[in-house]
């Protein structure tokens, strides 16, 4: 029986809009997040953080603080010396990447405003903060470098003298004959410079950790609002000198993560150190103001791009230069080189040209550490590519849809290797574009736009094609020495009452991991979904795996669940076959029953379960039922499963005020087999809005001294409901052959393409004024400046 035979069954949950069983609890106030945990003898941490972007710690006096009510301990770097080893955010496959060792608390120097310096452990967070205000620190402010260009200028002092300069990483790509392509007699060249502002995740649940070191058992249990518990287990064991199996990491409900909660943070490591020091559970929850200066930041780039085309619109070459700033450290363990690396790998990669040159420079600066955040590099690569293609279209008098038709990799050209070396198994760019144009009634919108322009109303239509990197294999991180697993595992077990428990190593942050796994398991085992219980987020109770990142949960985790369920099914059918004296090949599972191939019920799954567990005496000698199965899965054929999509944005620009009103948004995406279209749609929508945030609203505004000016929710503008459009999503399913399920990832596609689509729409609206904007976020101020009105 084929592993996917259940797909044809009406009871199969695959492809169905199944509501998440776990959502009910969340909607009734039953969510259990880290802050809801209140173990006995709990201690709360607050931090004194550097008020300066760059300063030397001259002296400090914690006398008054230590005497403050409720204070248990004041903790400095000295107090935890010897309890930990520092970490370095480099991986061997990023040749030349350099970064200094990083410690939980600053030693003698702080290199960003917000860096933790002193921890206060007290009976409550409020009392810890009261005491923190009493800590007296003498700082010597040092010159700070915040501007990326300035940081790389030869005369600028390196932030880390031992490293020689502020260039953390550089890389170049030179494929084909770029110069020749640009120099061609009939070549049309367009160039543009793009700027993307640093912004941050703003997770509804702020970062949260509860570290509980048991001195009696010398074991550490960490409840962590985090995406990768196994990775963190390795890291805690390694850096705190604990036996690997003496560390347990649990991820309870996580209130949003988006990549923010997958990096190692010095204040979280301090919480673990504090727990070891005090022998008590220690809780640290970042408050919102703290989050703005201590969560990782993302996406600070300046990109120069040039495009060479023939007069008829074929792209001949693309040449780009990406400068990105990462704060003073490369983050650990994934490094801060990945973002820029993806930008140079991905830019232009969905078009047919073979001539491509790219240079990446990653610069240190005195701003918060900056690294992977949802869609890592894709929003930049996509915005740059799609904007310059649109600009070229305008230059050549081509419709943006037409220039894409000419240049997108044809749907029958696969497998395809891009100029930057990316391997695409099979994508559907052309089909996706045609589907989108129909879905949004592109021609109708163009007609409406033209008519309204005559009345002085400026609407813009923006298209953006893109790829998304999903299901990464070990070449992404593991190869460089990171304790990051590219595989995942599922253990699935039949219980004597006929229900099934599945423990698997991908984690849940609200995207529906558990529902997705339950759908696969229930479908493969012919069970109603209520009979499947999913266990995730516990290094002690699940197989070893990578967790959630790079949109891998369904494609990799789902495949492990499928394989494990199929293996369990074979075991069940074999035992049932023995009990029924029928060959297993003539049996199947449906609706909680073992059936014949025509669907007639033969024996209940619960009866099989009871026989296996309680009535071994009724089975023939030598029969050993195995009512559980574990399978792991890692993609093998391709280093990544690329997906593709295209987005459309329709908006109205008020040219007098610079305000943009988003009217509607569309996404057509191809993530291979869709296990639950509703979950995928909602991931896309959430991702789109997150991308819109970066395109129009979000930026961390710094002054020259590296002071964050807008670090609160009144001044840092996250998208709220009133300004967001309705978002229509359609799917194409091009399965990957790398797994039985054929599923690729979908979690980041919305964020990858939305900033590009919106920027193209704004520039489309600006066409009559013959100006363009190439800086994000596209605030009213910047739009009015582009228009020359201010």
Partner 1 sequence: MSDDRIFIRLIVNGESVAREIPARLNLVDFLRDELGLTGTRWSCEHGVCGACTVLINGELARGCLVFAVQLEGCHVETIEGLSRSGVLADLQAVFQRRNAVQCGFCSAGMLLSADALLRENHAPSRAEIREHLSGNYCRCTGYHAIVDAVAEVAAARAVKVKAT
Partner 2 sequence: MLDREGEGARLLAGGQSLVPALNMRLLSPASLIDINGVAELTGIAERDGVLRLGALTRHAALASSPEIARLAPLVAQAAPFIAHAAIRNRGTLGGSLAHADPAAELPACAVALDAEFEVAGAHGRRRVKARDFFTGIYQTNLAPGEILVAVEIPVSPPARRSVFLELARRQGDYALCGLALAAEIRDGVIADARAVYFGVGSKPVETANTALALDGKRPGDGPGAAANALEAELEPLGDFNADAAMKGHLAQVLLRRALGRLDAA
Residue 31 contacts partner 1 per CB under 8 A: yes
**From the list 690, 760, 763, 775, which residue makes contact with partner 1 (rule: CB under 8 A)?**
690
Residue 781 contacts partner 2 per CB under 8 A: yes
Number of residues that bind partner 2 (CB under 8 A): 24
From the list partner 2, partner 1, none, pick the one residue 142 interacts with, judged by a Cβ distance below 5 to 8 Å according to partner type.
none
Residues 6+ apart with CB under 8 A from 568: 492, 493, 494, 500, 525, 627, 628, 629
- Which strand (E) or helix (H) includes residue 182? helix 178-183
CA-to-CA distance for 602 and 608, rounded, in angstroms?
11
Minimum CB–partner distance for residue 401 and partner 1 (Å): 25
Report the DSSP pairing between strands 500-504 and 532-535.
Answer: parallel
Starting at the edge strand found earlier in the chain, the sheet holding 488-494 runs 532-535, 500-504, 488-494, 628-633
Residues 480-519 that bind partner 2 (CB under 8 A): none
Minimum CB–partner distance for residue 240 and partner 1 (Å): 29
Site string for partner 1, 124-153 (x = CB under 8 A): --x---x-----------------------
- Which strand (E) or helix (H) includes residue 577? helix 559-580
Sign of CA dihedral 57, 109, 294, 38: negative
Instruction: For the chain, state the CA radius of gyration.
Output: 28
Minimum CB–partner distance for residue 734 and partner 1 (Å): 24
Which one of the spans 268-276, 314-322, 644-652, 713-721 is the region binding partner 2 (CB under 8 A)?
713-721
Which one of the spans 165-173, 256-264, 456-464, 477-485 is the region binding partner 1 (CB under 8 A)?
256-264
Residue 348 contacts partner 1 per CB under 8 A: no
| 362 SS3 class | strand
CA-to-CA distance for 406 and 449, rounded, in angstroms?
24
Residues 6+ apart with CB under 8 A from 217: 246
**From the list 136, 288, 438, 615, which residue makes contact with partner 1 (rule: CB under 8 A)?**
288
What does residue 648 show for φ and ψ, rounded to 5 degrees? -130, 140
Site string for partner 1, 55-94 (x = CB under 8 A): --------------x-------------------------
Site string for partner 2, 73-112 (x = CB under 8 A): ----------------------------------------
Residue 686 contacts partner 1 per CB under 8 A: yes
Which one of the spans 140-148, 162-170, 317-325, 711-719 is the region binding partner 1 (CB under 8 A)?
711-719
Sign of CA dihedral 100, 103, 106, 108: negative
Residues 363-402 that bind partner 2 (CB under 8 A): none
HSE-CB for 586 with a 13 A CA cutoff: 8
**From the list 59, 720, 770, 788, which residue makes contact with partner 2 (rule: CB under 8 A)?**
720
* Nearer of residues 477 and 666 to partner 1, judged by Cβ: 666
Residue 615 contacts partner 2 per CB under 8 A: no
| 622 SS3 class | coil
Can you point out the beta strands (E) in 10-83?
43-49, 55-61, 71-75
From the list partner 1, partner 2, none, pick the one residue 781 interacts with, judged by a Cβ distance below 5 to 8 Å according to partner type.
partner 2
From the list partner 2, partner 1, none, pick the one residue 133 interacts with, judged by a Cβ distance below 5 to 8 Å according to partner type.
partner 2
Residue 40 contacts partner 1 per CB under 8 A: no
What does residue 257 show for φ and ψ, rounded to 5 degrees? -145, -60
On whether the CB atoms of residues 409 and 424 are closer than 8 A, the answer is yes
Site string for partner 2, 33-62 (x = CB under 8 A): ------------------------------
Report the DSSP pairing between strands 355-363 and 167-175.
Answer: antiparallel
From the list partner 1, partner 2, none, pick the one residue 710 interacts with, judged by a Cβ distance below 5 to 8 Å according to partner type.
partner 2
From the list partner 1, partner 2, none, pick the one residue 28 interacts with, judged by a Cβ distance below 5 to 8 Å according to partner type.
partner 1
Residues 6+ apart with CB under 8 A from 638: 423, 425, 473, 736, 738
8-state DSSP, 408 = B
**From the list 61, 138, 656, 726, which residue makes contact with partner 2 (rule: CB under 8 A)?**
656
Residue 184 contacts partner 1 per CB under 8 A: no
8-state DSSP, 52 = S
Residue 726 contacts partner 1 per CB under 8 A: yes
Residue 290 contacts partner 1 per CB under 8 A: no
Starting at the edge strand found earlier in the chain, the sheet holding 593-596 runs 587-590, 593-596, 601-604
Residue 39 contacts partner 1 per CB under 8 A: no
Residue 474 contacts partner 1 per CB under 8 A: no
The number of residues in the chain equals 790
Residue 704 contacts partner 2 per CB under 8 A: no
Q: Find, among 386, 427, 351, 393, the residue nearest to 645 by Cα.
A: 427
Residues 6+ apart with CB under 8 A from 353: 176, 314, 315, 316, 317, 318, 407, 419
Residue 133 contacts partner 2 per CB under 8 A: yes
Residues 6+ apart with CB under 8 A from 91: 97, 333, 334, 335, 337, 477, 480, 481, 482
* Nearer of residues 254 and 517 to partner 1, judged by Cβ: 254
Minimum CB–partner distance for residue 22 and partner 2 (Å): 28
Minimum CB–partner distance for residue 289 and partner 1 (Å): 8
From the list partner 1, partner 2, none, pick the one residue 32 interacts with, judged by a Cβ distance below 5 to 8 Å according to partner type.
partner 1
Residues near partner 2 (CB under 8 A) are: 129, 133, 289, 656-659, 697, 701, 709-710, 712, 714-715, 717, 720, 722-723, 779-781, 784, 789-790
Residues near partner 1 (CB under 8 A) are: 19-20, 23-24, 26-33, 35-36, 69, 126, 130, 201-206, 253-258, 287-288, 509-512, 678-679, 681-682, 685-690, 712-714, 718, 720-724, 726-727, 750
């Amino acid at each position: 029986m084929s592993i996917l035979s259940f797909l044809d069954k009406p009871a199969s949950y695959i492809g169905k809009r199944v509501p998440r069983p776990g959502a009910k609890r969340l909607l009734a106030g039953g969510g259990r997040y880290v802050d809801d945990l209140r173990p006995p003898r709990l201690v709360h941490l607050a931090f004194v953080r550097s008020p300066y972007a760059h300063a030397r710690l001259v002296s400090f006096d914690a006398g008054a603080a230590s005497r403050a009510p409720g204070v248990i301990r004041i903790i400095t770097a000295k107090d935890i010396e010897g309890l930990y080893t520092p970490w370095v955010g480099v991986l061997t496959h990023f040749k030349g990447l350099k970064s200094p060792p990083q410690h939980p608390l600053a030693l003698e120097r702080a290199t960003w405003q917000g860096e933790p310096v002193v921890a206060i452990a007290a009976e409550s967070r409020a009392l810890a903060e009261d005491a923190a205000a009493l800590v007296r620190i003498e700082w010597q402010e040092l010159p700070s470098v915040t501007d990326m260009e300035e940081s790389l200028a030869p005369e600028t002092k390196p932030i880390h003298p031992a490293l020689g300069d502020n260039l953390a990483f550089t890389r170049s790509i030179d494929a084909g004959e770029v110069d020749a392509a640009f120099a061609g007699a009939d070549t049309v060249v367009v160039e543009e410079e793009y700027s993307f502002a640093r912004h941050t995740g703003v997770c509804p649940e702020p970062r949260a950790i509860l570290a509980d070191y048991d001195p009696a058992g010398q074991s550490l249990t960490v409840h962590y609002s985090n995406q990768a518990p196994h990775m963190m287990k390795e890291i805690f064991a390694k850096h705190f000198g604990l036996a690997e199996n003496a560390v347990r990491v649990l991820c309870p409900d996580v209130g949003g993560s988006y990549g923010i909660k997958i990096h190692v943070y010095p204040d979280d490591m301090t919480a673990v150190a504090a727990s070891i020091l005090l022998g008590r559970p220690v809780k640290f929850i970042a408050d919102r103001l703290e989050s703005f200066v201590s969560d990782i930041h993302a996406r600070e780039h300046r990109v120069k791009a040039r495009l060479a085309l023939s007069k008829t619109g074929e792209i001949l070459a693309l040449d780009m230069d990406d400068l990105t700033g990462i704060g003073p450290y490369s983050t650990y363990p994934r490094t801060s080189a990945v973002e820029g690396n993806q930008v140079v790998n991905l830019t232009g990669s969905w078009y047919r040209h073979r001539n491509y040159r790219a240079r990446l420079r990653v610069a240190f600066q005195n701003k918060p550490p900056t690294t992977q955040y949802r869609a890592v590099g894709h929003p930049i690569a996509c915005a740059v590519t799609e904007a310059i293609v649109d600009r070229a279209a305008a230059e050549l008098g081509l419709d943006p849809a037409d220039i894409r038709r000419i240049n997108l990799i044809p749907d029958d050209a696969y497998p395809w290797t891009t100029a930057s070396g990316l391997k695409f198994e099979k994508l559907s760019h052309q089909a996706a574009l045609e589907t989108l144009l129909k879905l949004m009634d592109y021609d109708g919108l163009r007609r409406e736009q033209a008519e309204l322009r005559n009345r002085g109303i400026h609407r813009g239509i923006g298209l953006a094609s893109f790829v998304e990197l999903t299901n990464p294999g070990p070449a992404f991180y593991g190869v460089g020495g990171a304790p990051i697993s590219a595989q995942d595992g599922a253990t699935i077990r039949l219980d004597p009452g006929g229900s099934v428990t599945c423990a698997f190593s991908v984690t849940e942050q609200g995207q529906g991991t558990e529902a997705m796994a339950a759908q696969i398991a229930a479908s493969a085992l012919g069970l109603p979904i209520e009979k499947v219980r999913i266990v995730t987020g516990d290094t002690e109770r699940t197989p070893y795996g990578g967790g959630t990142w790079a949109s891998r949960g369904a494609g990799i985790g789902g495949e492990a669940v499928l394989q494990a369920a199929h293996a369990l099914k074979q075991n069940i059918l074999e035992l049932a076959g023995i009990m029924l004296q029928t060959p297993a090949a003539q049996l199947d599972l449906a609706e909680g029953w073992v059936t014949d191939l025509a669907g007639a019920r033969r024996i209940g799954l619960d009866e099989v379960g009871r026989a296996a567990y309680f009535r071994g005496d009724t089975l023939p000698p030598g029969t050993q039922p195995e009512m559980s199965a574990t399978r792991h899965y890692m993609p093998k054929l391709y280093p990544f499963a690329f997906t593709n999509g295209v987005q459309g944005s329709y908006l109205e620009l008020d040219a007098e005020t610079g305000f943009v009103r988003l009217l509607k948004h569309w996404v057509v995406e191809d993530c291979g087999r869709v296990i639950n279209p509703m979950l995928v749609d909602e991931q896309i929508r959430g991702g789109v809005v997150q991308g819109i945030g970066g395109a129009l609203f979000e930026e961390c505004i710094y002054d020259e001294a590296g002071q964050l000016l807008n670090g609160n929710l009144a001044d840092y503008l996250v998208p709220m409901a009133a300004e967001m459009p309705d978002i229509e999503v359609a799917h194409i399913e091009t399965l990957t052959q790398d797994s039985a399920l054929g599923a690729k990832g979908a979690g980041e596609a919305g964020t990858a393409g939305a900033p590009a689509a919106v920027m193209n729409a704004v520039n489309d609206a600006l066409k009559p004024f013959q100006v363009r904007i190439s800086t994000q976020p596209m605030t009213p101020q910047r739009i009015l400046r582009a228009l020359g009105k201010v």
